[in-house]
Amino acid sequence: MSRQSPEEYFKDLSEAVVEMDEDLAVSLSKAALEDGVDAYEAIENGLSHGMARAGQLFEEEEYFIPELLMCSDAMYAGLDVLKPHLKKTTESRGTVVIGVIEGDTHDIGKNMVRIMFETGGFNVIDLGRDVPPQRFVDTARDSKADIIALSTLMTTTMDGMGTVVKLLIDANLRDGVKVMVGGGPISPGFAKRIGADGYAVNAAEAVKIARELVGTA
């Protein structure tokens, strides 16, 4: 591969993510390192940039969940190559504890949101699916999290979201932790009723709302 400028690498990496090309993302990441491109910049201006574009395409309904998942596969593949070469610890926008509420095992939506959070510079602790309300609160306390993000696709488990808010209050943690909710049956009205701080209709919007909530928009 001929020598490229860092800017060309950024552009190609971004394109590899948008085009869902995992192999290309890996080979470009390796080539960029060999050509002395800074790993942090390759991630920030290349891979993350591509993932943000993919998120934009998702919002515009050009891409759907299959494409977004494949883009994230390409992004993570490149990330695996670049991460060991990071010189400085990158500054996180904040810590998010995320999970699907107890009684529900649908996690595609949650995984999308996690990917967009990670791409958007958040440190994410993923508790997985079928998570009891108390575990969100315990994890948020132990990790000094800024945000708890809750997902459910089922109406039967919506109430668990309200329980998390109550448990946060009981634990005197409510002031320091913002609560975001989302998922099929959830509406802005429901979010408000249970005292959540934010509602997002999809993964791309979730990151924007999170940035607003922690004041790093």
Partner 1 sequence: MSIVEMKPLERFAAYAKGESIDRLPCVPIVGNTSARVVGAKVSQFRGNGLLIAEAQIASYKKFGYDVIRVFTDLYTLAEAMGATVHYPEDETAYLAFPAIKSVDEISELNPVEPLKDGNLPCHLEAMKRVIEAVGMEVPVTGAVTCPFTTASFLIGAENLVRLTIKNQSAVHQLCEVALESALRYSAAIIAVGCTPSLTDPMSSSTVIGPRQFKEFSYPYLKRLIDFIHVHGKAVTLHICGKTEKIWQLMADAGADCISIDNDASLQGAVENVGSRVRIMGNVHPSDIMLQGTPEDVRLAVQSCVAQAGHNHKGYIVASGCSLPTETPFTNIQAMMDAVREIGWPPRIVQAVERHL
List contacts with partner 1 (CB under 8 A).
20, 61, 63-67, 69-70, 73, 103-108, 111, 154-156, 158, 184-185, 187, 189-190, 193
CA distance 46 to 32: 10
Q: CA 206, 144, 137, 179 torsion: positive or negative?
A: negative
Nearer to partner 1, 144 or 193 (CB): 193
Nearer to partner 1, 86 or 108 (CB): 108
CA distance 109 to 8: 33
Give the DSSP letter string of 117-156.
HHHTT-EEEE--SSB-HHHHHHHHHHHT-SEEEEE-S-GG
CA distance 183 to 72: 20
Minimal distance, residue 108 CB to partner 1, in Å: 5
Minimal distance, residue 188 CB to partner 1, in Å: 10
Minimal distance, residue 125 CB to partner 1, in Å: 20
CA distance 24 to 17: 9
Minimal distance, residue 202 CB to partner 1, in Å: 9
Nearer to partner 1, 50 or 94 (CB): 50
Nearer to partner 1, 128 or 176 (CB): 128
